[in-house]
Amino acid sequence: MTLMMSGLDCHRAPLDQRQRLAFSQSLAEEFLRWLHAQPGVEGCVLLSTCNRTELYINGSAETPWRLLCRGAGIPEREMESYFTTRCGMDAARHLMEVSCGLHSQILGEDQIITQVRKAMELAQEVKTADPTLSALFRGAVTAGKRARTEVSVSRGNPSMGSRCRDVLNRELGTLEGKRILVIGNGQMGRLAAQLLQQAGASVSVTLRTYRHGETVVPSGCRTVNYEDRVTALENMDALVSATTSPHYTLTAEQLRQVQNPPRVAVDLAVPRDIDPACADIILCYDTDSLGSAGPGSPEELEAMGAIAAQELERFAQWQKRQKIAKKAPKFPLFVDLTGKKVVLVGGGTIASRRIATLRLFGCEIEVIAPELKCSPEGLCWKRRKYAPGDLKGAYLAIAATSSREVNHQVCLDAGELGIPVSVADCEGECTFYFPAICTGENLIAGVVSGGKDHHRTARAAQAIRRTLEELE
């Protein structure tokens, strides 16, 4: 398998082209599911921000940018020149540097850390992040956090929000007492509103709905119903818009209805929130025209680069360990489980499948889980969380919870006791693979695929079962 990435960003593609490949969360979920079903795609993660869209793939698929265009319904020939493609450790190095803020418009921009983390979490939620991409993105988040805490950037807390504040301060002469409307109460909108209010501006923030205890409004800011945003623009000094809306939050036609419109508007959204035609009426900035805060000092660049290199080396070492773990296949040893104790930690769908299989072999099944999806009949069910000592006396151990931490602890405890263990979410921690079972008259076969390609395993098991049936 090969790690690959293709991406376009603010340094190579103008905003008009970047916004064609900007994904909302719902669109990103749909795209990732579609992509994961494509031939050769073992894992995929999509990083989509105001400044970049990057697709990371692990597998043997075709070039990521082609899949990205195809999934977005955009002709490949129109976008090819804007993409950069990297493979292997070059792709991994790039993500480490991106997360450190080395490729942002503003050096050390701290929002990119959150964006990288959320990209990983979304892929894990829709089950498209394989172990390699999960490890890579975890390392990138760590690199970003280290860069944020270990490197002192001379411009304070760098972000698009702070750049917006600085530009408005320059255009208005001062922010003290200036009236500013911020459309959008997401992460970027709240940050911009907070920074402007702290600089002395009188800030109003739009809300679509207000739920007490759920909606967070920056301290000191007023609120305006989103539907009243055009009316609220009257006598404002400036407008900032930062939503994820697929439509304009302000059109030129709406702006012409305002008798005393703002002097300047800043659009922090991609795709754009503010109709470009508004630039014929008032001064408008978008994420590109805001510009950068400078390239950074040689010391800052060197320190961030060193952090990215260190986390890249850790990822490389992780990959080496995985290759060693996968060097030899598991030997298919058939054992008698009659009367022997098998401890299974977990009670969800995967655990229930394991239990159904184990019931065939006469073993004593002890299940440790707060909840259980299958019938507890015939089981010793300890209705609680896993605790140290729970593997005592076990012949086999199986970890099949939704918690990586718990599964890993079961692996460690089994290793200390010398008990064979199967870990559902990490093949590298398995000392045996739990097989798909195929039975016939006085015949039994088990099928595994190195803990990875479960669909292929299922197809093979079906074929073997048909063969065994024909032999009866």
The neighbour count for residue 52, using CB atoms within 10 Å, is: 23
| Residue 108 DSSP label | T
Q: What's at 55, amino acid-wise? A: L
CA geometry: angle 96, 99, 100, nearest 5 deg = 85
Q: What is the largest CA-CA distance in the chain?
A: 89
Please answer whether residues 21 and 8 qualify as being in contact, where contact means their C-beta atoms are separated by less than 8 angstroms. Answer: yes
Query: Reduced to 3 states, what is the DSSP secondary structure of residue 279?
Result: helix
Cα separation, 142 vs 314, whole angstroms: 11
Cis bond leading into 271, ω under 30°? yes
For tokens 């909302």, the residue is 24
Residue 367 has, within 13 A of its CA and on its CB side, a CA count of 28
434 backbone dihedrals φ, ψ, rounded to 5°: -80, 120
Bridge partners, residue 202, by sequence: 179
CA geometry: angle 81, 86, 88, nearest 5 deg = 165
Region for 108 from its dihedrals, namely left if φ exceeds 0, alpha if ψ lies in -120 to 50, beta otherwise:
left
Cα separation, 320 vs 384, whole angstroms: 37
Q: Residue 131's closest CA among 312, 297, 318, 272?
A: 318
Q: Residue 99's closest CA among 397, 308, 345, 346?
A: 308
Cα separation, 55 vs 67, whole angstroms: 9
From 50, 100, 430, 438, active-site residue: 50
84 backbone dihedrals φ, ψ, rounded to 5°: -120, 135
Please answer whether residues 140 and 98 qualify as being in contact, where contact means their C-beta atoms are separated by less than 8 angstroms. Answer: yes
For tokens 């376009």, the residue is 8
Active site residue 50: yes
Please answer whether residues 254 and 181 qualify as being in contact, where contact means their C-beta atoms are separated by less than 8 angstroms. Answer: no
Task: Cite the active site residues.
Answer: 50
